Chain A
Amino acid sequence: MEFANTSSHMVQEVTNIIDGYKMGSMRALAQEPVQNALDAVREGNKKVEVEYRLLRRRDEAGKSCFMLTVTDSGTTGLRGDMVSTDELEVRNYQLRPEENWAAFEAQGYTKENEDALGSRGQGKAAFLYHSHVPPGETRRMAMFYDTLLEDGEYRLGMRFARPVDQILSPPLLNAEAKAALQRDFFPLGDLKVPLRLRPLGEVGTRVMIPFLAEEDALELRPNGEIVRWLQRSWWRAIQIGKLRIRVVDEEQESETEIAVPRWWQDLPRENNPTPEGRWFDLPDGGRSCVWGDLAFGNDYKFRRLVMLHCDSLIEDEIVRDHPEYSGIQVIRVLQWIETRGARQDYGDYIPPDKRPGFRGFVEFDKLTNSKLRAAENSQHDGFDARGTKGEIVRDLRTQLDACTREFSAAMGWESATTITTQQVSQREKSTHAQFMETFLNPNGRKPKPGPGPDEPEYNQLLWDCRLDLEYPDPNSARIDWGQSLSNVYVEIGVEPSEELIGNADLILEWVDESGQAKELCRSEDAICKQWGKDRVEKQFELGDWQILRGKSNLSLQQIHCPEPGEYRLRAVILYRQGRVKSATRTVYVQSEPPTPPQKNPVTLSISAVNISTRHKKRIDHGEELQLQINARNRGIQPGSYQLTATFDDNVLARDEPIKLEGTPAGDSPQRQALLTEQLQLLDPHQSAPMEINGFQPMSMPQSSGRFTISADLYDESGIHVAHASCPVYFQRDPGNARNNLPFEIEQQDQKAMWLLNSDLNRLTYPPDYPLYTEMKEIHRQRRALQGRLAFIAEISANGLLEWALRPKETTGDESNYEQLYDENRSPDDTLWDDFNRGLEKLCKIVESQTEYGMAWRETVATMLEIFSQENN
């Protein structure tokens, strides 16, 4: 027997190669031998069989040791000439495709018609790595390999890394080889390797790894890790009948055949998948989508892409850092290469609680497979997405991303964006809540004037105020000097009458562009209780008011107005030292008003107020709800419409004809009440409480729940004009709006500084947003706007504006806007006035994005000032 040394430090080389497998040596051992076997399939043979067999042997000293054999059959065996190292050098390290024996013995060669992927000795290294030849100060590795060829030739070879590389040259042949195998020990220098194996009976190859490490032997049993890696790597080849793998433990006489994972057992066989995807219900209650012949990138194609989700699936991962099943397995030519992770890569689309049950795989057509091979790494466990070769990988990932998003949407998952870990600090949450409370109030009504500390709580008064006037041009709010605002008329209503304590005043004001108000006239104690009436109503005819540039006299109803610009005439109700309601008309003195908006000129709003218990959105059994449906028409022309409104199963109005007056260009549109209902809500399972006069009892369909008031407005030709909806929380707390906040604040991974979700109940911001991370975390708060809390206030302001304006602009639903827009808040404070005017401006200039953006930013700035002023 002769041994030929090669020049390489084999142990180092093997270690380097196997350490390059990011998922560990066991994956390499599961992958490389099977891959080599599939590459060497014998012509005319449809299936390759590979057997991993664990054997126990005793060394010369009688000490127990393990040996692994990996045998393939249905293959060509290690055929071809035996090429010596010298000859290989002469041939410039080029081997012919059929020279398998030489390829298995040599290092650093290239095969014709192949790239360099297979030439780095991954297969040999995967075996050698697991051999720990004793004893020795340095690590030594050994492996034997025998093959039976179709022509009956038998060969036995050996490789010994000590640490230099040593091979048996020439190999033992035929009878000599068989005899050597069957002997108790194979002499290897100072070492005797226990083999005692039967020669191969079928054409194929066997690799023997003596002296396995004890811990590796455990993993190579039929219940060990190797089985799991084999399944991950090769289930698709097994499924289509090209491969059979068995893991045998000879000592324990146990055996496992690698099977297809149960979730893939039937699905990929579904026929006729389409590029649009076909959906299937799974027997376990999950769903799956199968795409077929789906093109991507530059003429590449998914032969099949399958995704499924089933809640009953549990996570089955071996290593933590790199996904195996949890995600989409990328399978190239029946071999699993990498997995795009449900968490790592598609975390945006797959919520955390759905990830364990998510599985997918993708396989490709021939052209795509060959292109992908160029981008595959030498360990066959990943792709390189860089450079020209990586272009296909980038395209592939983009397409998978799109399909996963589609799958997620079809599954009805909220984007994971909405399901994040809660990291918002308590102080930030408080700032957000404080911000909301500064600008909103429960039920959308300012509870003013509230009872004093010693006063009993009483029902909230509902005020109405309407200001009518005639402009010189009925279609425009423009007025020139010398002209008059004619027939100024104020109508006031309040209910319930019996709750009115004392009298109220009416004030007429002229407000300039800076928000400064000048009182024009006042009617003191004009509104008082009217016994025997539920509602107090009062009308004031205030005559004509002339606008003059020069000298004017208020007693002659003349208003001094030297500068052209936008002004307002305002009627205010003063009740118990507070402004409870006002109505405003806009006037453009000597200047042209803006044209009315083209989009959604008519809007609807619904207000649903619990008038039994103030400050409470929840309505309990027997409590009263006052609901009002209002509309505004920003168009110049009046119009006839039809209103349909429902509250759960009850129809409040069905095609009810209504007329909406037009708004002169530039004027503030008047809110017109379309429908008012007073309902006493009742639990169907409880006895009805005492009937309340004027309140219609309404039995709710369930004891508790979130019910909806909806309204649709159609024009005369039946075209939908506006929609509004409003939730009613009957005997339950508003789930996502604790503390009566319209939306909560959360962190999530996203690019944008802030996002308000489609349900308008969650405002999110990225924890790594540059501005946020640069701001100081506040431990001791001195001001309302400080450090990161200023950031929170800023996004809260933006969120609040979006919450109010998005439904208004999309469906003409003004319900939220009405809650934010409150003319009665601190009317003497110009900041609040600026805020109201900012909101009005945002409604007027929806056509110009630039102006709209500017008005938005100005309004946000005003809101921050107000917040700072009110909370410092």
Chain B
Amino acid sequence: MAVLVWSDRGSILGNTIRSGRRVALSAEEYRAEAEALDMQLDALLDMAWHTLTVITEHKDGKPRFNTFEQVWVLGRAVHISEVMRHEAMLGELRTTLWQALTAKAWYGIRHDATRDPRWRELIPAGKNQWRTRTDDKRLDRAYDFLEVGFWLRDQQLHDAGEVFGWEFSNARKLYLRPTLRSLTLRTALLHWLRRQTPDIREFAKVTQTTDGFIVFVKALNDRFPARGPGSALLPQHYPDDELRAIVCEVLDVARDAHFS
């Protein structure tokens, strides 16, 4: 099927129907389904925006948006609204939905072409590569904040925030390693973090590429390689207790090695 993607060129609104699948002539043949989905996205964005207003901290009366919270809110809203099951999404890759959702939120355009600029607050600052990237190969990376948000959908905000130190880049580091994406691993990681001293927990919040959270991500990645020997059994294949024991063992070693 297909999605409807809004555009705003000098206040001139327009939309196109896009599909990631092969279509006979043009994706316009699926306009009806795409417009129905667009209407559902209005509700999704309203829900996400209201959630964001509730959880965002304010300082001096001004909201202080946190990228981690923004992406979690979007991912959760996509999940709850069940747009993935919409008939317009049949056989579509998620990237197609992200194209529709991001443009709609950024330009703040409802299905009836009325404007709602508040939705722009849902898009994290600096995550605007989607506006300039058009080639297929790089589209995925432009929307990775939405992918990460969608991936986090099945974990409570507080738990997820605790695992990643409320840092989007930490979440992304784990997400970029496909073998470490399972919820059971995140739960085991949280279990381990909660047993660490405040110093270690603070260290795990650091977002640098050589220090902090990445130390533990690398240790887990070595234990659960994506390919080659030892890659058959991944975190999701272990019973919870066994995985918890493995994660504790691996991370204890990584911690001790780093701080020795």
Chain A residues at the B interface, C-beta cutoff of 8 Å: 278-281, 283-285, 287, 311-312, 353, 644-646, 649, 651, 654, 685-686, 703-704, 710-712, 720, 723, 725, 731, 810-811
Contacts and interface: CB of A to CB of B under 8 A. Distances in A.
How many B residues are at the interface, by size bracket?
Answer: 20 to 34
Given A279-B208, A280-B208, A285-B126, A723 B230 contact: yes
B234 A811 contact: no
A704 B93 contact: yes
Nearest to B82: A685
A725 B230 CA distance: 11
A712 B230 contact: yes
Given A312-B129, A685-B84, A704-B91, A280 B231 contact: no
Interface of B: 84-85, 89-93, 126-127, 129, 135, 137-138, 141, 169, 182, 207-210, 227-234, 236-237
B126 A353 contact: no
Among B135, B137, B227, find the residue whose CB has the most chain A CB atoms closer than 10 A.
B227
Contacts of A811: 228-229
Nearest to B209: A279
Contact of B232 (A646, A649, A686, A704): A646
For the residues of B in contact with A, the DSSP-based class is loop
A712 B93 contact: no
A663 B32 CA distance: 64
B210 A279 contact: yes
Nearest to B127: A285
Given A279-B210, A287-B209, 20 more contacts: A278-B210, A279-B209, A280-B208, A281-B169, A281-B207, A281-B208, A283-B126, A311-B141, A646-B234, A654-B233, A685-B84, A685-B90, A686-B90, A704-B93, A712-B229, A723-B228, A723-B230, A725-B232, A731-B91, A810-B228
A278 B89 CA distance: 43
A380 to B, nearest CB: 36
Contacts of B127: 285
B231 A353 contact: no
Contact of B91 (A283, A287, A703, A712): A703
A312 B130 CA distance: 11
Contacts of B91: 703-704, 731
B231 A712 contact: yes
23 contacts: A280-B209, A281-B208, A283-B126, A285-B127, A285-B129, A311-B129, A311-B141, A644-B233, A646-B233, A646-B234, A649-B182, A654-B233, A685-B84, A685-B85, A685-B90, A703-B91, A710-B231, A712-B231, A720-B230, A723-B229, A723-B231, A810-B228, A811-B228
A649 B208 contact: no
B232 A712 contact: yes
A810 B228 CA distance: 9
A219 to B, nearest CB: 29
B208 A710 contact: no
A311 B130 CA distance: 11
Contacts of B209: 279-281, 287
A364 B176 CA distance: 36
B231 A284 contact: no
A731 to B, nearest CB: 7
Nearest to A652: B232
Contacts of A645: 232
Contact of B138 (A280, A287, A353, A725): A353
A644 B230 CA distance: 9
Closest 3 CB pairs of A and B: A279-B209, A710-B232, A712-B232
B70 to A, nearest CB: 15
A811 B228 CA distance: 7
Contacts of A353: 135, 137-138
B153 to A, nearest CB: 13
Contacts of A723: 228-232
Nearest to B129: A311
B203 to A, nearest CB: 16
Contacts of B233: 644, 646, 651, 654, 712
Contact of A284 (B92, B126, B137, B210): B126
A279 B234 CA distance: 29
B183 to A, nearest CB: 11
Nearest to A759: B227
A725 B231 CA distance: 9
Nearest to B86: A685
Contacts of B92: 703
Contacts of A281: 169, 207-209
A503 B227 CA distance: 44
Contacts of B135: 353
A283 B93 CA distance: 29
A830 to B, nearest CB: 38
A309 B169 CA distance: 16
Contacts of A685: 84-85, 89-90
Contacts of A285: 126-127, 129
A281 B90 CA distance: 37
A280 B214 CA distance: 12
B2 to A, nearest CB: 15
Contacts of A651: 233, 237
